Amino acid sequence: MDILTEALGSMRTAHPASVRTEGRAPWALRLPPVVGAGFHVVLYGTCWLIPLNPQEHGPEPGEPVPLSPGDVVFLRDGRGHILADHPDTPPVSAEASRADDSLPIGTVSLGGAGARTSLLCGNYHLDQGRPHPMVRQLPALIHLQTRHGRHPELAAAVQLLGAELENPRIGSTGIVPALIDSLLLYILRAWFEDQPPATAAGWAAALGDAGVAPALAAIHEAPATAWTVESLAERAGLSRAAFARRFTSMVGEPPMAYLTRWRMTTAARLLRESEAPLTTVAARTGYGSEYAFAKAFKREFGQAPGGYRREARAA
């Protein structure tokens, strides 16, 4: 069971939005907060990313982050920030302008006549109202470098994106969105694999833990099973108490709480994406009756399953 893919799939609400940003020094672009998670890929040149404090109405810039060709940035909660050729360049706001139909995505051009920087910028539409705990535990800003042989798969995705955007050809309109969609998994895989085993904590440790990982896989693979702490501890090869402590420490909530969370997450996804009747959704998420399922779902989401389905389809 690929827990990373499952967790992200449970949060995605739409395809990513993206734009190509072409800057020539001096240039600086203030980007407002977005719903979901933001990302940037440096295709050519260098620049700086300056985080903004999302708690302040008039935010002060945070510590600037230097970016080089091949660098990838992921902003977990889509917070506002500035991209600039230099931290001292005054930022402006800009709206995306659509390029001609031969290009796979829209473009923004700004700045003067100096050194060129080319970026792919965008956001992944993730449901931040109910974030998966794995995503919630990520750093607010992830900065990955793909030069010098680091993260070869992520580097390959970046190179392919750069090639398609620099020289669009037949098929680029389909290839670019697919690469951007896959980029999120490459980013998070690279970050998780970057964590040293000796110091990894939370989900970074849980995904590779000999006890917790099999229990998580069991929950994700068969949420309808009548799991108990004892039966999951058996999967983990640990005593009930030791397993419960270990699971709660890494995952961030007790085993039964996570089981309920995943059942409800699975149910919500089935309601959004399928025509399965409520009795089927109830059975596939471990509830013996439609009534018991509806009661649990309303407790979790604040509305009945039918109302949730209608609202999701109308959005």
Q: Tell me: the pLDDT tens digits for 155-214?
A: 999 999 999 988 888 998 899 999 999 999 999 999 998 888 767 789 989 998 999 999
Q: What share of the chain is helix, strand, coil (3-state, %, to 5)?
A: 45, 20, 40
pLDDT in tens, 230-263: 999 999 999 999 999 999 999 999 999 999 999 9
Q: Are 29 and 117 in contact (CB under 8 A)?
A: no
pLDDT (0 to 100) of residue 12: 85
Asked whether the predicted pLDDT for residue 105 surpasses 60, the reply is: yes
More confident residue, 305 or 313: 305
3-state secondary structure of 21: strand
Using N-to-C axis directions, what is the helix angle for 3-11 and 212-221, rounded to 10°? 50
Residue 292 phi, psi dihedral angles, 5° rounding: -60, -40
- The pLDDT of residue 130 is 81
Interatomic CA distance for residues 266 and 7, integer angstroms: 10
- H-type alpha helices, 12-124: none
Token reading at 247: 């699971």
3-class DSSP state of 300? helix
Task: Answer left, alpha or beta for residue 254, where phi above 0 means left and psi between -120 and 50 means alpha.
Answer: beta
User: pTM for the full model?
Assistant: 0.86
Alpha-carbon distance values, 215 to 123, 136, 261 (Å): 32, 20, 14
Would you place residue 93 in the very low, low, confident or very high pLDDT band (cuts 50, 70, 90)? confident
What secondary structure letter does DSSP report for 59?
P
Residue 84 token pair: 């600039």
Q: Where are the domains of the chain?
A: 3-194, 204-314
Mean pLDDT value across residues 117-141: 90
- Phi/psi for 15 (5° steps) reads -75, 155
CA distance 95 to 292: 49
DSSP 159-222: HHHHHHHHS--TTHHHHHHHHHHHHHHHHHHHHHHHS-TTT--HHHHHTT-TTHHHHHHHHHH-
| pLDDT (0 to 100) of residue 243 | 97
The CATH homologous superfamily for domain 204-314 is: Homeodomain-like (1.10.10.60)
Cα separation, 284 vs 272, whole angstroms: 15
Tell me: the pLDDT tens digits for 64-75? Answer: 999 999 999 999
Mean pLDDT taken over the chain: 90
| 3-194 against 204-314: fold identical | no
Of 121, 113, 114, which is closest to residue 75 (Cα–Cα)? Answer: 121
Give the span between the Cα atoms of 123 and 36, in whole angstroms: 7
Topology (CATH level 3) of domain 3-194: Jelly Rolls (2.60.120)
Tokens coding 258: 């996570």
| Residue 61: pLDDT band with limits 50, 70, 90 | low
DSSP-assigned letter for residue 115: -
Q: At what angle do helices 212-221 and 240-251 cross, to 10 degrees?
A: 80
Residue (of 196, 165, 14, 8) closest to 99 by Cα position: 165
- Per mean pLDDT, which range of 55-59, 172-176, 197-201, 222-226 is the poorest? 55-59
Closest Cα to residue 146, out of 37, 39, 69?
A: 69
At 306, the amino acid letter reads G
